[in-house]
């Protein structure tokens, strides 16, 4: 391909998960000219592995206090709800919503405190204790209080598809065998070349929104790779004649299991996380499935698990590094000269991360600039159940 004129841009984003795509939207709407480069497929990593719960902070207030995490996230359900209803940009009204609410329930019969928590700490997602007649079938035999919390559950692939459609002209696929090459220029703007040198971008800022890939990207331009931490999860999938259920089984301050439901090829699939997935990191898939079966049975005594197929998948979470190694309470956005690095910590926090990036950006100078139309475009990552190896427990 012949050499082209360098293309001036305000930003080049690396990584097309929820953080990169939401940031692209925020930048374009703020008048910046930006493109996004994806190495594999959009959302390949945490976004496609996620359970899609748009948390409003309730699970961070189970000890009765408004933690930093709860404060950071409490406005997110409203933002997402408005976007999903097409009342706010980005317009995500084309993305299916898996559930308008999550259920919260306990395994023991003590009166649950959760119904009071949300009101006490002033979260924006109301929590309603529900009468036994109004419970979903799966929770009819649960002995403790059952509450309904207005946290939506999205379909991550559906949201990725809508954002991809909105910005397809700005999305570029640069796979490992034909990668984008960053040239860090000391004291000046970095450059990004593609397809040999046939495409050259000269952005004001490079934005690393590559999840787990951020450490390597940072290292490649001389930034500290140790600003990232990785916390593993070993998630469980169950498939079969299961009831539709979205929610958390709470035990004291612990989220014992978190279950969300997806449909694929006529199957109902449960994605099971929470404490199971944290404990499961040191377990083999066989041991984890046996443990998950016991935990789900304890949490949902009324659900028949016979004939259910099971699978597991490992899913590392990439976050800004914390001295304690625990989950950061908020998004991490590092602005270092011509580089901005983002770890949103939660999918739900992507709008907040994007807003912080826009704030950290210099004024737009690039103008509308033309992005070549003959570059290859990334596809959308496949959900974990499409690659799973299923077996009975
Ligand atoms: C099992 C699991 C369940 C979760 N459930 C929830 C939930 O219910 N609710 C919630 O709010 N959060 C949840 N989270 C957290 C949430 O998924 C993440 O915080 C969020 O998806 C991170 O998005 P991201 O865009 O930063 O990273 P990712 O989604 O990992 O995206 C990074 C992208 O960058 C690309 N990439 C990597 N390296 C490069 C490179 N060198 N060049 C170009 N591209 C590159 C990858 O292919 C990928 O597309 C969950 C996480 C996990 C693991």
Contacts of 181 (CB under 8 A, 6+ apart): 192, 193, 194
Q: Give me the pLDDT at residue 174, please.
A: 96
- Name the residue of 45, 75, 99 to mutate for ligand 1: max ligand atoms within 8 A of Cβ: 45
**Alpha-carbon separation of residue 23 from 12, 117, 171, 304 (angstroms):** 11, 32, 13, 43
Q: Give me the pLDDT at residue 120, please.
A: 47
Q: Give me the pLDDT at residue 71, please.
A: 78
Distance from Cα 236 to the centre of ligand 1, integer Å:
18
Neighbours of 276 (CB within 10 A): 27
Q: What does the block give as tokens for 205?
A: 């800022």
pLDDT at 59 over 80: no
Q: What is the DSSP letter of 380?
A: B
pLDDT tens readout for residues 316-333: 999 999 999 999 999 999
CA distance 270 to 261: 5
| Ligand 1 atom nearest 213 alpha carbon | 38
CB-based burial, 291-308: b 16+ in 10 Å, e otherwise: ebbebbeebbeebebeeb
CA distance 155 to 242: 18
Neighbours of 266 (CB within 10 A): 5
pLDDT tens readout for residues 41-57: 999 999 999 999 999 87
- Name the residue of 13, 50, 125 to mutate for ligand 1: max ligand atoms within 8 A of Cβ: 50
- Name the residue of 347, 352, 376 to mutate for ligand 1: max ligand atoms within 8 A of Cβ: 347
Host H or E run for residue 217: helix 214-220
Q: What are phi and psi of 102, to 5 degrees?
A: -115, 150
pLDDT at 277 over 60: yes
**Alpha-carbon separation of residue 178 from 14, 134, 172, 174, 197 (angstroms):** 15, 55, 12, 6, 11
Q: Spell out the domains of the chain, with CATH numbers in brackets.
A: 7-47+159-230+320-385 (3.50.50.60), 53-154+233-314 (3.30.9)
Q: Which residues are 314's β-sheet partners?
A: 234
| Ligand 1 atom nearest 235 alpha carbon | 1
Q: How deeply is 259 buried, as exposed, middle or buried, from its count of CB atoms within 10 A (0-12, 13-18, 19+)? A: buried
User: Mapping DSSP to helix (H, G, I), strand (E, B) and coil, where does residue 200 land?
Assistant: strand
Q: Give me the pLDDT at residue 123, please.
A: 57
pLDDT tens readout for residues 340-387: 999 999 999 999 999 999 999 999 998 776 677 788 999 999 999 999
CA 24 distance to own-chain centroid: 16
Q: Give me the pLDDT at residue 108, please.
A: 62
Could you give the percent of the chain with pLDDT greater than 90?
75
Q: Give me the pLDDT at residue 197, please.
A: 79
CB 270 within 8 A of CB 242: yes
Q: What does the block give as tokens for 343?
A: 């770890």
CB 182 within 8 A of CB 221: yes
Could you give the percent of the chain with pLDDT greater than 70?
92
CA 171 distance to own-chain centroid: 19
Averaged pLDDT for residues 28-47 = 97
pLDDT tens readout for residues 279-300: 999 999 999 999 999 999 999 9
CA distance 146 to 286: 31
* Ligand 1 shell residues, CB under 6 Å: 14-20, 37-40, 42-47, 49-53, 55, 209-211, 213, 217, 233, 235, 273, 315, 317, 343-348
CB 153 within 8 A of CB 54: yes
Host H or E run for residue 356: helix 350-360
Q: What is the DSSP letter of 161?
A: H
pLDDT at 1 over 70: no
pLDDT tens readout for residues 145-167: 888 998 999 999 999 999 999 99
Could you tell me which of 32, 64, 342 has the C-alpha nearest to residue 203? 32
* Residue with tokens 């944290």, as numbered in its chain: 278
Could you tell me which of 156, 160, 138 has the C-alpha nearest to residue 51? 156
Mean pLDDT over all residues of the chain?
91
Averaged pLDDT for residues 182-199 = 86
Residue nearest to atom 52 of ligand 1 (CA): 50
Could you tell me which of 292, 283, 284 has the C-alpha nearest to residue 310? 292
pLDDT tens readout for residues 86-143: 999 999 999 999 999 999 988 764 444 544 454 345 556 777 889 889 999 999 888 8
Q: Give me the pLDDT at residue 116, please.
A: 41
């Amino acid at each position: 391909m012949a050499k082209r004129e360098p293309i001036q841009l305000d930003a080049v984003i690396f990584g097309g998960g929820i953080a990169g795509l939401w940031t692209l939207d925020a930048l374009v709407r703020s008048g910046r000219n930006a493109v996004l480069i994806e190495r594999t497929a959009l959302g390949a990593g945490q976004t496609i592995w996620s359970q899609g719960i748009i948390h409003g902070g309730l699970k961070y207030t189970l000890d009765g206090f408004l933690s930093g995490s709860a404060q950071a996230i409490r406005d997110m359900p409203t933002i997402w709800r408005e976007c999903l209803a097409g009342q706010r940009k980005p317009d995500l009204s084309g993305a299916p919503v898996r559930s308008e609410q999550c259920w919260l329930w306990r395994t023991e019969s003590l009166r649950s405190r959760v119904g009071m928590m949300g009101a006490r700490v002033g979260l924006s997602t109301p929590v309603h204790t529900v009468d036994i007649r109004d419970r979903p079938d799966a929770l009819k035999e649960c002995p403790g209080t059952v509450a309904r919390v207005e946290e939506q559950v999205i379909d991550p692939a559906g949201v990725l598809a809508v954002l991809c459609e909105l910005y397809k002209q700005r999305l570029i696929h640069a796979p490992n065998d034909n990668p984008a090459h960053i040239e860090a220029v000391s004291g000046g703007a970095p450059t990004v070349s593609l397809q040999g040198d046939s495409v050259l971008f000269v952005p004001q800022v490079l934005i690393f929104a590559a999840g787990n890939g951020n450490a390597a990207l940072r290292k490649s331009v001389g930034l500290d790779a140790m600003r990232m931490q990785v916390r593993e999860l070993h998630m469980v999938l169950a498939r079969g004649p299961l009831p539709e259920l979205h929610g958390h089984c709470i035990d004291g301050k612990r989220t014992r299991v978190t279950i969300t439901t997806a449909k694929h090829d006529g199957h109902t699939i449960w994605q099971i996380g929470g404490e199971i997935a944290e404990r499961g990191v040191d377990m083999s898939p066989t041991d984890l499935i046996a443990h998950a079966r016991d935990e789900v049975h304890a949490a949902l005594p009324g659900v028949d698990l016979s004939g259910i197929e099971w699978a597991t998948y490992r899913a590392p979470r990439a976050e800004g590094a914390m001295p304690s190694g625990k989950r950061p309470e908020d998004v991490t956005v590092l602005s270092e000269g011509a580089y901005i690095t983002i770890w949103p910590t939660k999918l739900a926090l992507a709008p907040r991360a994007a807003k912080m990036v826009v704030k950290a950006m210099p004024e737009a100078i690039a103008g509308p600039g033309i992005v070549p139309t003959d570059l290859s475009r990334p596809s959308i990552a496949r959900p974990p159940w499409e690659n799973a190896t299923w077996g009975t427990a």
